[in-house]
Structure 1
Amino acid sequence: MRTRHGGSLVTTATRLIDIPCRYGMHLMIALRLPLDQVGAFYIVFGTMSLASGLGRLGVDRALTREMARALAHGDSASARAALWRALALVLALSVGLAILTAALAWPIARHVMDKPAMTPLFLIGALSIIPLNLSSLTAGALAGLHRVTESQIVYTWLWPGLFCVIAFLLPLDVALALLAIAGAMALAAVIGTAMLFHHLPARPAVRGTAAPLLSIGLSLFSVELVQLLISAAPPFVLGALSTTDAVGLYAIAWRVVLVIYMFVSGVASLVSPRFARLYMLHDHAGLRREARRALGFALALALLPIALVTIEPTRILMLFGAHFAPAASTLRILLIGQLAAALTTTTPELLGMTGYARALLRLNALALVTLLAGLVGFVPSLGADGAGIATAATMLVNAIGGSIVAQRRLGFTPIGELYAALSRRRSAMA
């Protein structure tokens, strides 16, 4: 049990730490800010997250894959070379995106949002791009070194936990909340860098060669881009076409749904370097086995949160404040998409880590069109519920399309392998 599942259990334990840290952050925002300021916070927070993603372009994910592949062959020189190339790329991209975001702060606030008072908030958000991307890069490198627990600490709960500590000491408003996030991300980048250099292999005598990380990252980034847009675009479009109150309702409903995503994404992050290693070693039986186990573990973790949110959506929303109860219908809509995503956990990672990132790129282009068309079509008339419909439809497109691509390119899907294994077990018991 320890040999087979020990790493998964440790990684899951780090995700359990994520709940009080990340949801402590969202709870502090919801309880201590008025509803319109909650909406303003999530508009800027989503915009900042999207801009930071464009400042990485998937290089952190590409670094995970290339370091795992190099170390599978004992080539620590190439693993180190990939790290330094990734650092140069991400730093250059992040500085450029931070400057561009700051320059666009006033035009976005004035002409897109029609809320000029939000200009300073967008400027504060631009400060967070560089430290967030540096911490993401160190987390990607740690995953490539198979230090998955440390990677998840830096990727998921370290900066929200630090935010909770900082914000607890402040008389919180929306500007101070965004400044606290920037400071927490900077501290997380420093801590993540210290973890990375502690585990980095010693410098070998020979020089290594680094793969073209940017081209690899761009293919893998299509997956992350859709995830970022699913999180960032609905609040932004709601802010432009509806009210900040509607943004606040949708944002809290989405954060409740993300409880499920936290568990399944932790499992996906755990197995990504394993997929890369098994594919590099041509161990297709091991690849099927790993995909089956990972999905089974993810569903075991996700079923209870899905059941709780389905049964008591209003009561759960009221934990953030009674004024969030009207978001119950939005929450139910989002659950449909999240259930589809849970059933196809690890499928995007499986395709990305086995060299089929181009197929993912085409699939995610379709998902992106679905999201944007849904937001423009449904938000003006339905508000937060319309954003929920667009998001759920996008997640369904990703889930169904990813399964079709995996079946055609790899000959199997994780859900198919899990179903076959359960059928064999039932037959053996009978």
Structure 2
Amino acid sequence: MTLTSNRQIAQLYQGIVRNKTNRVFTVGAGSSLAAKSAGAVFLLLAQIVAARVLGAAEYGYFAYAQNLLIILSIFTILGFDVSLLRFIPEYQVRQEWAELKGILSFSFRSSLLFSGAMTLLLMLFLGLFPTVFTEKQTIPLLIMSFSIPLYSLTMIRQSALRGFKHIVLAELPESIIRPLVFILALLIFSRFYAPVDAAQAWLIYLGVVLLTFLIGTGLLVRAIPPLTLSKSETESRQWTRISLDMMWMNAMNVIFNQASLFLLGFYADVIDIAYFSAATRIAFFISFTLTAVNSIAAPMISELYHAQKHEELQNIMRLSAAFLGVVTLFTVLILSLWGKPILGFFGNEFPQAYKLLLLLMLGHAFKSFSGPASFLLNMSGNQKAMGRVMFCFMLFHLVINFLLIPRYAATGAAIATAVTMVLWNVSLAYMSVRFVKIDPTIFSLKSE
């Protein structure tokens, strides 16, 4: 290790010890990482158990319905999962308790209305166009439709808890309790009713989602402070306008993450879907640390930026860059060396997805090294400029998928995903430096 590296480490340590904001960020990021690490392990274990119990083909149907749920929920969450991270800290600082309860009530009611409508629309679509999907796909999708309201309200509740800085409570029901109960229920069911198909697995999953939704709702009720109800029409319009901007960002982000798998359902074999889904879930471990950092970084970015504390904000970005750099390099090394055995946990045939894993790892590494650039742009009011650029990349992503998947199946999907992730995250980093004058990337360590 060089003298310069030692000096940088010493400066980072002193910055954490002496600065309260840095300490809050470090403790919050550490707690979030611990909770999300445990959750990621349990969630992956749940997918492994599902793959082994169901087999590659039935697991493909099960995973396809899960990913479609994520896509549809964009339009039922309405962007409140992001906007709450901005408004809750703001209202707490100003002690505007009426407005705080107002946006909580408004977000839950709006999402419930739209998620109920989405459930009915999906059921209607499956009934009117039965030839779009095979019977093996249709039944899991029909069962999945009933989980849309629960999933949407769960995402808003998680965001509310994060806004109140209850990071561990936000993760506990869905990241730890849900996968553990699902694993137990699936294993017990398979013991008496083997073989288990995707539809039966989805019935079990729906019951578990309902259970953890009730647990999470109880945690939120206990966590929020006593509030009074008062809300004006003007605030409702503001909440809707900003949240819909965030929804647009979420929509394009989910398209980045899910479009390849979705299109595989039309152009490739179900085995390709299973392989790609397994590789995607493992590759996510490279950038999931960024998700942990974002949980605490989002409200702090908004607070520091609008207080014009740009130096403190850049310090936070340096801390996140150092944190992300170390964890990302370590994770890349582990998955490069032991990717095949890890894939083998899904089933004996899944090590064939190792090439897909390597391609996807490239994209996730660039995402992690770019830091919380998307939240930096969103919380600083640059979401519209970001949205325009992101729309161009969304079109690029769809085009390259349409070109590659019919010919190369899962390999084409992995190439399309990796290329888009690299280009998009480089663009995010560039926009952050240009518009916000803050460098969120690993290169910010050089400027210290």
Structure 1-normalised TM-score? Answer: 0.92
Equivalent residues of 2:321, 2:445 under 8 A apart: no
Aligned to 2:83: 62
Tell me which residue corresponds to 1:167.
186
Q: Write the distance in 2 (CA, Å) between the matches of 1:79 and 1:53.
A: 23
Map of 1:419 onto structure 2 = 445
Which residue of structure 1 lines up, in the alignment, with residue 216 of structure 2? Answer: 192
Q: Mark the CA change 1:124 to 1:161 in structure 2 (over 3 Å): closer, same or farther.
A: same
Pair 1:274–1:165, CA change in 2 (3 A): farther
RMSD of Structure 2 on Structure 1 (CA) = 2.1
Residue in 2 that maps onto 1:128: 147
CA distance in 2, matches of 1:159, 1:388: 29
366-375 or 382-391: which moved more?
A: 366-375
Pairing 1:335–2:361 present: yes
- Per the TM alignment, residue 77 of structure 1 is displaced from its structure 2 partner at its CA by 2.1
CA distances 1:105-126 after superposition (whole Å, capped 9, x unpaired): 2466622x4x233221110110
Question: Does the CA contact (< 8 Å) of 2:363 and 2:422 recur in 1?
Answer: yes
Structure 1, 392-401 or 227-236: larger mean CA deviation: 227-236
**1:118 maps to which of 137, 142, 156:** 137
Rounded Cα–Cα distance in structure 2 between residues aligned with 1:205 and 1:334 = 47
- What is the CA–CA distance in structure 2 between the aligned matches of 1:214 and 1:117, rounded to whole Å? 38
Deviation at 1:418, TM superposition (A): 2.8
The 8 Å contact of residues 42 and 175 in structure 2, kept in 1 or not, is answered as no
Matched, 1:47 2:47: no
Counting only pairs closer than 5 Å after superposition, residues 223-372 of structure 1 correspond to structure 2 as: 223-372=249-398
1:23 alignment counterpart: 44
Deviation at residue 206 of structure 1 after TM alignment? 6.9
The counterpart of 1:85, out of the listed 106, 114, 126, is: 106
TM-score (norm 2): 0.88
One-letter code of the match for 1:26?
Q
Q: How many residues align?
A: 420
CA distance in 1, matches of 2:119, 2:374: 29
1:139-158, aligned counterparts within 5 Å? 139-154=158-173, 156-158=175-177
Q: Deviations over 1:187-218 (max 9, x none)?
A: 22212211111121212497675562232122
Following superposition, the deviation at residue 52 of structure 1 comes to 1.5
The one-letter code sitting in structure 2 at the alignment partner of 1:300 is V
Q: What's the CA shift string for 1:232-290, capped at 9, x where partnerless?
A: 32222111111111111111111110122322211111211111222232222222122
Matched, 1:201 2:225: yes
Distance 2:183 2:229 in 1: 44
- Cα distance in 2, alignment partners of residues 110 and 261 from structure 1: 38
CA distance in 2, matches of 1:380, 1:155: 35
Instruction: Name the structure 2 match of 1:34.
Output: 55
Secondary structure at 1:330's aligned position in 2? helix
Whether 2:95 is the aligned partner of 1:74: answer: yes
**What is the CA deviation profile of residues 21-53 of structure 1, one whole-angstrom value per residue up to 9, with x for unaligned ones?**
101111111111121112111211111111112
SS of residue in 2 equivalent to 1:383:
helix
One-letter code of the match for 2:242?
I
Contact 1:44 1:122 in 2 (8 A): yes
Q: Which moved more, 1:244-253 or 1:97-106?
A: 97-106
Which SS does the other structure have where 1:201 is aligned?
A: coil
The 1:381/1:33 distance shift into structure 2, 3 A limit, reads same
The one-letter code matched in structure 2 to 1:142 is: L
Q: CA deviation at 1:154?
A: 4.7
Is it true that 1:383 corresponds to 2:409 in the alignment?
Answer: yes
% identical equivalent positions: 21
Preserved CA contact (<8 Å) 2:40 2:175: no
Provide the residue aligned with 1:212 in structure 2.
Answer: 238
